[in-house]
A and B are shown apart, each in its own frame.
Chain A
Amino acid sequence: MLNLIKYEIRGKLLTILGICLTVIIGNLFLMTKVSSGGIGIPLLSTVLGIGALIVISISTLTIMSDYLYDDQGYLLFTLPQSGVSILASRLITAVIQISIVGIVSLAMFCLLDQGRTWNAMLQGATLPEMLYSILMYLWTIVSTLTFIYFCMVIGRIALKGKKIGKIGSFIIFFILSIVRNGLAFLIANFFPQIVQFDSVTTVTMNIGSTLFDVMIFGLLFMATSYLLEHKVDL
């Protein structure tokens, strides 16, 4: 599994560096305009950062679709690696990729506004809240990606053809998302118990729907691993 991570990162090294460089240069350029731009400058920096994150997120999807549809899949799927190993390494690499870009964007933004926003955030925040944020950040990436990968793998197995497969995956994702959110909503209504804690922001978590989300993630992870190992036909 570690080897898979190593090679996936090496494969996308240019992309990651390219994006980071763009963010850095873009922000350096913005810094020269700080005095004259007003509120627009930090805004542009944020937009740049978000753009960078979108690009790197898309790249986490293209890696999987390359495996499923391109000749590279022959190399990966003949390795003696289990489906769990392949999926786990993919998720970990994605977290690493996104985090690198995220940290660079955030760092550049802080440089830009001289750390004012950062300090303001840190003052109000408690340790549990910071841990919670990080946990939520990781959870969002991992659970969303697993969900998308599941739809991609189903699309690959059920539908023939690259274009049809990809469009089909998207449609499946769309439909399943609605179903999933609908169910989560229903569960939240039936079990309105919540957990709440306040600090900088008030965080409200519905126990029922959170448990539901975790269960779904677990199920989809196992299902995707199984399908990758036993059902993908190249």
Chain B
Amino acid sequence: MTWGGDTSNVAVASAKLGHSAGYITRVGSDAFGRGLIELWTSSGVNIENAIVDEESPTGMYFVSFNGEKHEFDYRRKDAAARKFSPSDAARVSLEGIKILHLSGISQAISRECLEAGFVLMKRAKELGAMVSYDLNYRGKLWSRDLAKAIYLKTICDFADIVSMNDDEAEILNLPENHEEAVRKIMDMGPKTVAFRRGSQGAVLGFDGQILTGKAKRVRVADTVGAGDAFTAAILCCILESQTTDYTLQFALTAAALTCTATGSTDGQPTKKEIRDFLGGNPVTQQ
């Protein structure tokens, strides 16, 4: 058993990469809620905005592997996280934040959460913070049409940084050429676009440039959480004002190293481990 959740993985990865991170959610007052709180505290993620819900259980999921791909059996119908409301969002302390990260899953789990997400994004923007948005489509949570509408609104109105994959690019009817797809999103407003393509590598739109990189070769134990580590690495590089090339290589390495351990956070690397891995590859750093 491990603890995970896409946005939580990003928060934990960011903390491991040396930045200060916090997490906004509701968890159940059960053993699993306690487990999540301990995951965050032990990783250095601030929990002042993690509300313990006395009424609802913590959501969970079971993964089975059918030989080709992972199948997820979600148990989140009554989950505490789904009860996170716009009034919770209005009370959250956002002081000093530079980036607010949320995903399509954060929006899709409930109507309350969707609205709470918009409240948080509005507040973050007013404070001059950036909004990072991972589309992270889950077919069990919402339809492709609804997801598309929310994606477009969020990207156009709020997002500064967008993460997506091939399936989500298809939902948005983006051009088949990956660089053109990234350009199209950048034309909608976001300055940074991470197009994650798993073992195919990634395309990064960053600082006005668009670069393509191959995936780093590692012995894969479990790919779950690799995309979240990739996004966290991008966020950290933005905070450090790194170059486009360094950012892409850094993020590809963060994703690859995350795949070397099972679970979505155990394999997440530190900055030093990424640099050690990249040791042989000459990369420029500002």
Q: Do A and B come from one complex?
A: no
